[in-house]
Amino acid sequence: MRVFQDIVVGSGPGGAITSHFLKKAGRDVLLIEAGSRLFQQDTVAFSKDEMLRKYWNGGVTVTLGTPRIPFILGKCFGGGSEINAGIYHRASPQVLEEWARRFQLRDIDAASLNEHYEYFEKELTVSSMPDSLIPKASKVLAEGARKLNWKCFEVPRWFDYDKAENQKQTMSETFLSRNIELDLEMVFEKTVRKLKQENGIWRVLTFEGDSYHAENIFVCAGAVQTPSILMRSGIGRNVGKSLQLHPTIKATALFDDEINTEGMGVPVHQVREFSPAISLGCSISSLPYLSLALSEFKNYPTFARENWKRMSTYYAMIRPESCARIINIPFTRDPVIRYDLSDRDIANLLFGLKKLCQLLFAAGARKVFPSLLDEKFILDSEDQIESKLTRVDRKLIQLMSIHLFGSCPMGENPALCATDSYGRINDREGLYVNDASLLCTSLGLNPQGTLMCFARRNVLHFLETRGG
Amino acid sequence: MHIYHIFSAFTYALGRQYSDKKNFNADADFVYRQYRNLPWYFRVVFACLALFLDLALMKGLVPFHRLQLRDRLHKVERLKRLNLGVTNDFLTFFNGLTAFSVYSGPSRETTG
């Protein structure tokens, strides 16, 4: 029986970085990935292929509750980093202060985290888009914000704009490619079912019937699968009870001028006038996505096809107070996610939607289609916003989310935390979590930058204290 | 009878509003593959609904999936007007994926 020093479960940002630093330190490491060995160029971004081959459950699964929220997770080499827009943020000092106070999270002073943030900003070429490449759909949002005197920023991304193709610095392009050069052992299309500890050695059992052994296990399978694996393994304290996501409501706008082009990708401006509670920004607006956005308006079946060059989709995303709960079902790999948005969260979403519509009309929109399941909500002018969007039945609200995290919070507060301040599962020698599950609360922003920062911090701490 | 045939029948009926093309096979394949991607507890619900609607939308003794396209379009329109919660979810799922697929380029995988 071969016993690895370390097994890393999951090759998303958490797992890619964890396995990289472990392997670089000369350790005997195995990486287990549930998805396929696909690279960025193997599918077209935001396409049918990508949905089928790189998304968990094809991207069509939803939370239970009212409204139901479709959510998107990566299931491929590189995980979520392969399918997101590559938007980068640092956590705000206020959020980190809250984590230190409520969760008693140790050693998160700005100076020590700064080193990790700077490392990734350099390694992943986090940079702003050259002005000549910024899409018009992005510029109109900035123009609307300027007219309203609202704060608006161009968000940096982990893109290498000097490269003609494959600009996005995903994990498969960066840390996982380096892992291949380091001869890291990897297995694909194996979904971990359970972890067992026998005589100080961890045994990893998969749904496919395989088993692997190691002294240490790093569970980096994402904010849904990580707690699900832990719960199936009998580890339940503060696990899976505090899953956070960023509920997002969209609105598609029609303008006089052409603002959309083929292959536009995701525009880069965000309006932060109401942050951290609410952020407004640009969404993917290819013809298939515009058609999907308008598919519930039965009198507009070909509207997107006829007008797509003058249309773009935007979003309002909230930092909610509600938490979701992960519920495992015996003998199955897909847990149920129960998520009931509070009335306050619903009110915030509608407030955000109204502000988004106001912004779009200020930017010159002629018509706005909010993602509400009735044509009566379609807006032809700013004057209609208050009358049409003030009282909306929550059943008619169509939401989505792409950011999931916080299901195994880290820190020293035993009432709230599943791990210690560095991701070690309490009372389980050799078992660690090192992915988005650790993030204590919502950032109100894309969490990948902060998740990578903590993944590096935690694995370096492990190497210094236990595995050097 | 395979559940695929019912899904294909719905995809053809819903796809007509987005395009006048004759062949929606690629779209039906996409919708069916996405159904297969759902967690099993959603798959069971969708399969039961599909079987139920195949019979509930019969014309004479002909089940929905074997009706002429014109009759299927008529039945789907009536179903939409009923505005029932659970069938609305079913149609929203099909309608969204069909719209997305019709306006997407051909799948790299299915075209080799």
Please give the Cα distance from A430 to A204 (Å, whole number).
13
Is the residue at A347 inside a domain?
yes
Token pair 């309203």: residue: A148
Q: What is the pLDDT of residue B1?
A: 61
Scanning every residue of chain B, which has its alpha carbon at the shortest distance from the alpha carbon of A54? B37
Whether A69 maps to a domain, the answer reads: no
CA distance A98 to B22: 58
**Cα-flanking dihedrals φ and ψ of residue A59, to 5°?**
75, 15
Q: Which residue carries 């016993």 as its tokens? A: A3
Same domain, A349 and A436: no
How high is the mean pLDDT of chain B?
A: 88
Name the domain count of chain A: 2
pLDDT at B84: 78
B42 to chain A: closest CA residue? A61
Q: For residue B99, which residues of chain A lie inside 8 Å, CB to CB?
A: 288, 291-292, 294-295, 301
What are the chain B neighbours of A51 within 8 Å (beta carbons)?
Answer: 34
pLDDT at residue B112 in the model: 30
**Does any CB of chain B come closer than 8 Å to the CB of residue A304?**
yes
**Could you tell me the residue range of the domain that residue B78 belongs to?**
3-102
Which of B33, B95, B103 is the closest to A288 by Cβ?
Answer: B103
CA distances from A148 to A139, A142, A152, A271, A359 (A): 14, 10, 10, 11, 7
**Same domain (yes/no): A178, A282:** no
- Interface residue of B43, B97, B100, B107 to substitute, partner A, most A CBs within 10 Å: B100
| Of A361, A382, A400, the domain-final residue | A400
Q: Note whether A308 and A386 are same-domain residues.
A: yes
Residue A414 lies in a domain: yes
Contacts with A53 from chain B: Cβ below 8 Å: 109
Domain-located, residue B111: no
Task: Identify the closest residue of chain B to A289 by CA–CA distance.
Answer: B100
Residues A176, A94, single domain; the answer is yes
DSSP three-state, residue B79? helix
Pick from A38, A40, A48 the residue to mutate for testing the B interface (most B CBs within 10 Å): A48
The minimal CB distance from B41 to the residues A288, A294, A329 is found for: A329
Does the residue A162 lie in any domain? no
A192, A48: one domain? yes
Three-class SS state of A19: helix
ipTM of this model?
Answer: 0.90
Say whether A290 sits in a helix, a strand or coil. helix
Is B54 domain-assigned? yes
Q: Judge if A224 and A343 occupy the same domain.
A: no
The pLDDT score that the predictor gives to residue B109 is 43
The one-letter amino acid code at B28 reads A
Residue B110 lies in a domain: no
Inside any domain, residue B108: no
Question: What pLDDT does residue A468 have?
Answer: 56
B30 shares contact with chain A (CB less than 8 Å): yes
CATH number of the domain residue A184 falls in:
3.50.50.60
Cβ <8 Å between B34 and A58: yes
Question: Using a CB-CB distance cutoff of 8 angstroms, which residues of chain B are in contact with residue A47?
Answer: 104-105, 107-108
Q: A58 and chain B: CB distance < 8 Å anywhere?
A: yes
Collapsed DSSP state (helix, strand, coil) of residue A295: coil
What does the pLDDT average to over B9-37? 94
* Chain A residues within an 8 Å CB radius of B93: 60
Residue in chain A lying closest to B81 (CA):
A298
Q: Which of B18, B92, B108 sits opposite A291 (nearest CB)?
A: B18
Q: Do B17 and A301 touch (CB under 8 A)?
A: yes
Contacts of B45 in chain A (CB under 8 A): none
CA dihedral A139, A140, A142, A147 (to 10 degrees): 140
Regarding whether A227 and A88 lie in a shared domain, the answer is yes
Range of the domain at A218: 3-52+74-124+169-239+408-467
Kindly report, residue by residue over A288-322, the tens digit of the pLDDT.
Answer: 999 999 998 989 999 999 999 999 999 999 999 99
Please report the pLDDT score of residue A266 as a whole number: 84
Q: Name the nearest CA neighbour of A59 among A290, A297, A404.
A: A404
What six digits make up the tokens of B98?
A: 């069909």
Out of A382, A400, A418, pick the residue that ends a domain. Answer: A400
- B27 contacts on A by Cβ (under 8 Å): none
Residues A104, A173, single domain; the answer is yes
Would you call A301 and B39 a contact, using CB atoms and an 8 Å cutoff?
Answer: no
Going residue by residue through chain A, which has 468 residues, state the pLDDT in tens, using 9 for 90 and above.
899 999 999 999 999 999 999 999 999 999 999 999 999 889 988 999 999 999 999 999 899 999 999 999 999 999 999 999 899 999 999 999 999 999 999 999 888 899 999 999 999 999 999 888 899 999 999 999 999 999 999 999 998 888 766 588 999 999 999 999 999 999 999 999 999 999 999 999 999 999 999 999 999 999 999 999 999 999 999 999 999 999 999 999 999 999 999 888 888 999 999 998 999 999 999 999 999 999 989 899 999 999 999 999 999 999 999 999 999 998 888 999 999 999 999 999 999 999 999 999 999 999 999 999 999 999 999 999 999 999 899 999 999 998 999 999 999 999 999 999 999 998 899 999 999 999 999 998 899 999 999 999 999 999 999 865
Q: Tell me whether residues B41 and A291 touch, CB distance under 8 A.
A: no
Distance between B55 CA and the closest CA of chain A, angstroms: 25
To the nearest whole Å, the CA of A53 is away from the closest chain B CA by 9
Radius of gyration of chain B (CA): 13
Q: For residue B105, is pLDDT > 90? A: no
Could you say which DSSP state residue A173 is in?
T
Answer yes or no: is A163 within a domain. no
Residues of B in Cβ contact (< 8 Å) with A71: none
What pLDDT is recorded for position B106? 57
Q: Check if the beta carbon of residue A322 is closer than 8 Å to that of residue A244.
A: no
User: Does A268 lie in the same domain as A136?
Assistant: yes
Mean pLDDT to the nearest integer, B3-16 = 95
Q: Which of A204, A180, A184 is nearest to A193 (CA)?
A: A204
Domain boundary among A400, A423, A445: A400
What is the rounded distance in angstroms from the CA atom of residue A126 to the CA atom of residue A87? 9
CB A251 within 8 A of CB A313: yes
Where helices occur in A233-342 by DSSP H, the ranges are 287-294, 303-307
Residue A339 sits in the same domain as residue A365: yes
Q: Is residue A161 part of a domain?
A: no
- Shortest distance, CA B7 to any CA of chain A (angstroms): 16
B92 touching chain A per CB within 8 A = yes
The C-alpha atoms of residue B78 and residue B87 are separated, in whole angstroms, by 12
Element (H, E) at A388: helix A384-389
End-to-end CA distance of chain A: give it in Å, rounded. Answer: 24
Across the interface, whether the CB atoms of A49 and B40 are under 8 A apart is answered no
Q: Does A41 touch chain B (CB under 8 A)?
A: no
Residues B104, A288: C-beta atoms closer than 8 Å: yes
- In this prediction the pTM is 0.94
Closest-CA residue in chain A for B112? Answer: A49
Chain B residues close to A52, C-beta within 8 Å: 30, 33-34, 37, 107, 109
In a domain, A343, yes or no: yes
Same domain as A264, residue A224? no
Determine whether the interchain pair A287/B38 forms a contact, defined as Cβ–Cβ distance below 8 Å: no
**Given phi > 0 = left and psi -120 to 50 = alpha, else beta, which region is A337?**
beta
Q: Give me the pLDDT at residue A427, please.
A: 86
Which residues on adjacent β-strands are paired with residue A187?
A32
- Helices B85-102, A287-294: axis angle to 10 degrees equals 160
B11 touches chain A (CB under 8 A): no
CB contact under 8 Å between B102 and A291, yes or no, is yes
Q: What is the pLDDT of residues B74-85, one digit of tens each?
A: 999 888 888 777
**Pair A33, A90 in one domain:** yes
